[in-house]
Structure 1
Amino acid sequence: MTFTDNLRKENEDIFQLIFEHPFVKGIGKGEVPEEALAHYIKADFEYLNAFMRIYGIALSKSKKREDINYFHKKINFILHDEIHPHHNFCDHIGVGYEELQGHPLPPTADHYIKHMMYHAQSGTQAEILAALLPCPWTYWEIGLELMKQYNPAKDHPFYDWINFYAGERSENTTLELRRRLDKLASEASTEEQINMKDVFKKSCQLELKFWEMAYICEEWPSKRKVNN
């Protein structure tokens, strides 16, 4: 069993909670409140911007050209390909993508980004990958679960979203990151491996919290008070 096999096993409970979250189940059913979809896109647009910057930090810590090329490609994937699922949600609610960009981060998204950025700035490349991996991994498995449970036809409102994350590009992103993390883990001390596990688990927990944040349209307490 590889290091990342163990990570998946140790976090099975969190993965299952993500699969069962009402936002995720709602994607499969084609029934997600429009305000939740908009809240998700606003936060995820900024989250993915941060994700690219963290890939950039990993690139800057790379010593081999093949690693530099790898992270460069990952940035391009987010920049040019991962906008398609956002467009699916935008088209469904009839809101232009540009209208949902540049908004302040809700508390959970803000926390998640700072968690990843902390490990990117102060940690090893292994810590960076451990912090990043839960995002593509959970989304790939979400796509697979929704395809299995709902087998959506092309007229399903979120067919493009589900098909994107269940697809080969999402699978390859996950497996490539896993292989890289497995290699780094094989060279790491026991203490370093424990730290990598902790970083990975926290990102898994924050993935779950991100779905909840979007579903309840989480805001900062001061903003809720003003609106009330």
Structure 2
Amino acid sequence: MSTLPAPPAGGFCAQAWERTAGLQQAIVDHPFNKALADGSLQRDVFVFYIVQDARYLVGFAQALSAAATRADDAADAAFLAGAAQGALVEERRLHAGYVAEFGLTDEEISGVDTSPSCLAYTSYLRACALTESYPVLLAAILPCFWVYQYVGSKILDATGDIEGHPYKAWITTYADDEFAEAVLAARELVDRVAARSDDATREQMFAAFTRATEYEWVFWNGAWVKETWPTAKFLA
């Protein structure tokens, strides 16, 4: 497991994390993540989550790509573009592995509707990409990096030896050094952009970071309950 350096004292990331500390703990304590940690998460619930996550990552990659086109620094643009590509590559690798392991067919996957929470989260990121400033878009993107690394590391800490764990691939993906380095780079980028933004923009950034973190909780909760559209019964 990697231990990330502490955010700069007084920086945007340190303040944003402090403002959402209770929500971050609620995400770790969510029944989905508790069951994932101890290996008791039901196969059908994890399959539902994997399908939703694959669809979410497409929207996430689109938001990252939009941010890359607006970066005023070549290194930042390269990082964001690389992260967009990485999200899609990792989605294919991780999800294809579970599809093969669980013996899922294309028909089974296509038969799972995109959940309201998944659509809402991806729509929020796409809306930020279209209507918000570059600093606010970065703040909205950050939780998907940071929260996943935090949850993955917490699960690895609590679980210890994960050899033979049914969700070992997921845990190691989000708790390893490479992903930790990407998270740190994203945090440093957001801190730098926030430091040169005015107070009003920073408050908008805090609001975007908080809302995206709320969507993280909602997304996992939607998977836990295998969320469906309550209106579906009227369309049968």
Partner of 2:190 in structure 1? 181
Structure 1 residue ranges, 4+ long, deviating more than 6 angstroms after superposition: none
Partner of 1:172 in structure 2? 181
Q: Where does the alignment leave 5 or more consecutive residues of structure 2 unmatched?
A: 1-8
Partner of 2:137 in structure 1? 128
The reply on whether 1:200 has 2:178 as its aligned counterpart is: no
How many residues are treated as equivalent by the alignment? 227
Taking a change above 3 Å as real, the CA distance of residues 82 and 17 of structure 1, as seen in their structure-2 partners, is same
Report the alpha carbon displacement of residue 163 of structure 1 after superposing the two structures with TM: 1.1
Taking a change above 3 Å as real, the CA distance of residues 53 and 101 of structure 1, as seen in their structure-2 partners, is farther
Q: Cα deviation per residue 1:69-100 (whole Å; 9 max; x = unaligned)?
A: 22221122112234444345435533257852
Partner of 2:47 in structure 1? 38
Return the letter of the residue paired with 1:218. Answer: E
The reply on whether 1:3 has 2:12 as its aligned counterpart is: yes
Q: Cα deviation per residue 1:89-112 (whole Å; 9 max; x = unaligned)?
A: 435533257852685421111111
The reply on whether 1:95 has 2:104 as its aligned counterpart is: yes
TM-score (norm 2): 0.88
Distance 2:110 2:196 in 1: 41
Q: CA RMSD in A?
A: 2.0
Taking a change above 3 Å as real, the CA distance of residues 83 and 154 of structure 1, as seen in their structure-2 partners, is farther
Q: Give runs of aligned pairs for residues 144-183 of structure 1, distance below 5 A.
A: 144-183=153-192
Distance 2:86 2:115 in 1: 25
Distance 1:41 1:153 in 2: 20
Taking a change above 3 Å as real, the CA distance of residues 184 and 98 of structure 1, as seen in their structure-2 partners, is farther
Identity %: 24
The reply on whether 1:17 has 2:21 as its aligned counterpart is: no
Return the letter of the residue paired with 2:167. Answer: F
Return the letter of the residue paired with 1:59. Answer: A
Taking a change above 3 Å as real, the CA distance of residues 98 and 60 of structure 1, as seen in their structure-2 partners, is farther
The reply on whether 1:77 has 2:81 as its aligned counterpart is: no
Distance 2:106 2:175 in 1: 23
Distance 1:225 1:214 in 2: 23
Q: Where does the alignment leave 5 or more consecutive residues of structure 1 unmatched?
A: none
- Determine which of 60, 75, 79 is the counterpart of 1:51: 60
TM-score (norm 1): 0.91
Partner of 1:142 in structure 2? 151
